Structures are given as structure tokens and as C-alpha cells.
Structure 1
Amino acid sequence: MNAHLEQRVLTWGPPSAPVVVLAVHGRGHQPEAMRELTGRFGPLPARFTAPAAAGSSWYPLPFLQPLAANQPHLDEALAATEARIDTLLATGTALGDVVLLGFSQGACLLAHLLLTRPRRIGAAVLLTGGFIGPDPIEPPTGDELDGVPVLLRSISEDPWVPAGRVLETAHLFEEAGARTDVEIEPGGEHIVTDKACHAAGELIRSLPHPVR
């Protein structure tokens, strides 16, 4: 049984909004942290769904540890995230109307998911995160990520996420054909800057609005 799927899911925003943002929180956080974060993006044509992780963590050890050291928790978290996407699709949301948004551990989880189990989503916003594990990985070889906007933002001296890993992750998305936008801002705190929030809001507002 996947413990992550037994946790609560926080939703907000107008039910008829054309875009659905799946917001994945960081280690030690709760979905309310993602609601607070997205409040800094400005008005958005979107509704939000933010699942809680079991024990407030998607996997137990730092993301640069060997993959095996974070198992089976990592695979369970990836499967739970895929299940949340599938639930959105089953209730009438088109895959192209789904935006994946993550911060910190949530951004790492989503980056790894998209690079190892790619889908043609509407966009991804990855704030202070990168693919998981100490070793390089290969970019996807299919066309699922062709043209998908992927926004990556981080801090140059972030204490938990090396800037180099964020840049490596951006390169993998570029290799996979995504429209990648990456910026590393100066600083040493584990934060999302106002500039990053503005860029995230602009990306979500720029997405095509489907006709209902």
C-alpha cells in the first residue's frame, strides 16, 4: 500500500479554471506551504491540487544519496505523483492543461519523474531542485517533452541543492526537446525569490487556455 496516497489533498482556486497545477511541497512542509507560495505568483487562470507526503517527506535521505538508499520510498512517491496526474485526467483534465509545480524536495521529485517517466504536460515549474541520485542520467529518447515549457530557478549557494545539479537538470530537459528557461540567482538561502515567483506566474498565464 502506498502511504502517500492515503494522505490529504489540499485544493483551491476556481473549479472551472482552464489550467490545473499539481503543487508538490518540500521536505518537512505541508500543502499549505504551496498555497502560500503560489499566492506570490499573482492572479492565475488556474486551480490547484497539492497532495501531502506521508510524514511530510517524499523520501527519507538527501536527494544526492544513492537511489537505492531512498527506496522503496522514492518509487512510492513517483508512483503516487503519477496517480495524482491520472486522477486529474480521469476527471476530465487534459494532460496539456496540467502544470507540475514543485519546490525543493518536491521539485526534485517532479524533475526526476519527468526525466524518467516523461509525459506531454502543459508545463513544469521546478524551484530549487534537480534529478535525484549521485550519478548522471540519460535524457528521455522519445518526443514526450518536445516543446514543453520547463522553468527552473534556484540560488547560487543554496545549502541543500547545488546550482550545478540544477544546470545539469536543465541541460537534460534541453536534450529532451523541452523549452527550458533556467536562472540561478545569487544568494545563500533556501528560498524562492520574488523574481522566480514572477517568472512562474508569467509562464502559467502564458499557457493556451482551452475552450470549454
Structure 2
Amino acid sequence: MYTHQKQIITAGTPLDKAKGALVLLHGRGGTADNIISLADEFNIDDIAIVAPQASNHSWYPYSFMMPVSQNQPALDSALQIIGELVDDLIAKGIPAEHIYFAGFSQGACLTLEYVARNAKRFGGVIAFTGGLIGKELVTTNYKGDFNNTPILITTGDPDPHVPLSRVEESAVILKNLNADVTVKVYKGRPHTITGDEIELANQLIFA
């Protein structure tokens, strides 16, 4: 088992001139460099883009639907990397309400898990095919108040990695923490990010 080394790729507006920040989390087998190109599709200006790189190109070794203990210590290490990154952004003058998150697949699961455990008013959250992590969801892990933070979760039905039932279960938990949640399900869509999802993200999160 493994923990993550802190490797952060940056793009966009330099932090000292940025009005906000976007944290991008890549999927299993992906890279920070690869996910950063996604930011080109978003309607964002004056935003610093930060993308951590997972060790072994994977945030945790097994399916997100496995017992959490089987994905340790990698999962806790990944959550710690994001927490330190967010603390660093805030320390450099970017308030939480101007911090956005977007992730795909494993990165989408990690995005939702981090924000649900640390709910506060963020700029917005995008989970392209993801859900909260664990064989069963332990609701006591999730705390705080999103204060109407917009959260978009998109998924295919069926999806080979993310059951629709888990997406729906996750949405309920996020709503109970006062998030403004939108779930969009695409029948028969392959495990990818489509143009329609990008458009929806721009409408709901980066409007």
C-alpha cells in the first residue's frame, strides 16, 4: 500500500493575481497534466488552476465501492493532500467561496468525499461520474454546511465503475449538508466526459 507524494501542477492565472482557484483531480491512470487541459473548456477568467498528481496514477488502489479500510492509507493520504492544498490557497488569499473543484471518475469520487467531509461555502463542485466513497456510507463522516454551494454530478447509466444508486445516495447526503445539487444522468453514455456535461458545468458552476 502507498501514500502520496505532494506533486502539484499549476496553470491559469498566477495565484497572486487570481480571483479564485480551481482544484482539478484526475481519474485512475490519469495525470495532473492531462486533467489540467479540461480547464480550457470552462468559462473561467482570472482563475488559478491547481492539479495534484496521484502516486502510481491512482488515488486509492481498489474500487470506491470497497470497504474504506481496503483503500487505506492511500485514501487518507489523498484527502490530506487536498486539505493541505485548500489550506494553502486560503493562506495565499483565495477564500473558500472562490475555490472550485472538478474531478473525473476516481477524481470525482475523491472530490465529493473531500468536500462532504469539509462542507462549507465553496465556489462550486463538479463530479464527472463519481459518488461518495465506501462499501456503506457512514453519514457521521460528513459534516459542515455547504450554504448553497452548487454541486453538479453527471453519470452514465449504466456506468461500468459508478452505480447510479451510489450517485443518488451521495446526492441526498450532499443536499442534507445544504448543497444545491444537480444530478444529470445520460442513458448509455460511455465512461467519459461529453461536451454536454462541459456545457452544463459552465451553466451551473461557472455562470
TM-score of the two chains, using structure 2 as the length reference:
0.90
CA distance 1:205–1:114, change in 2 (3 Å): closer
Q: CA contact under 8 A between 1:60 and 1:73: conserved in structure 2?
A: yes
- The match for 1:44 is 44
- The match for 1:74 is 75
Q: Does 1:135 align with 2:136?
A: yes
Question: CA–CA distance in 1 between the matches of 2:83 and 2:100?
Answer: 13
Per the TM alignment, residue 60 of structure 1 is displaced from its structure 2 partner at its CA by 0.6
Question: CA–CA distance in 1 between the matches of 2:5 and 2:122?
Answer: 21
Secondary structure at the aligned position of 1:130 is classed as coil
- The match for 1:14 is 13
Question: CA–CA distance in 1 between the matches of 2:167 and 2:69?
Answer: 21
Stretches of structure 2 lacking an aligned partner (at least 5 in a row): none
- The match for 2:90 is 89
User: Which letter maps to 1:121?
Assistant: F
- The match for 2:154 is 153
- The match for 1:194 is 195
- Kindly tell me the number of residue pairs found equivalent between the two proteins: 203
- The match for 2:110 is 109
Secondary structure at the aligned position of 1:38 is classed as helix
Question: CA–CA distance in 1 between the matches of 2:98 and 2:149?
Answer: 11
Per the TM alignment, residue 166 of structure 1 is displaced from its structure 2 partner at its CA by 1.1
Question: CA–CA distance in 1 between the matches of 2:74 and 2:162?
Answer: 20
What pairs up with 1:115-130 in 2 under 5 angstroms? 115-130=116-131
Stretches of structure 1 lacking an aligned partner (at least 5 in a row): 207-212
Worse-superposed segment, 173-182 or 142-151: 142-151
Worse-superposed segment, 124-133 or 31-40: 31-40
Per the TM alignment, residue 140 of structure 1 is displaced from its structure 2 partner at its CA by 7.1
Secondary structure at the aligned position of 2:206 is classed as helix
Q: CA RMSD in A?
A: 1.9
Question: CA–CA distance in 1 between the matches of 2:4 and 2:110?
Answer: 13
CA distance 1:177–1:33, change in 2 (3 Å): same
Worse-superposed segment, 197-206 or 93-102: 197-206
Secondary structure at the aligned position of 2:4 is classed as helix
Identity in percent: 32
Q: CA contact under 8 A between 1:156 and 1:186: conserved in structure 2?
A: yes
Q: CA contact under 8 A between 1:118 and 1:140: conserved in structure 2?
A: no
Q: CA contact under 8 A between 2:64 and 2:109: conserved in structure 1?
A: yes
CA distance 1:134–1:151, change in 2 (3 Å): same
User: Which letter maps to 2:33?
Assistant: E
Question: CA–CA distance in 2 between the matches of 1:33 and 1:155?
Answer: 22
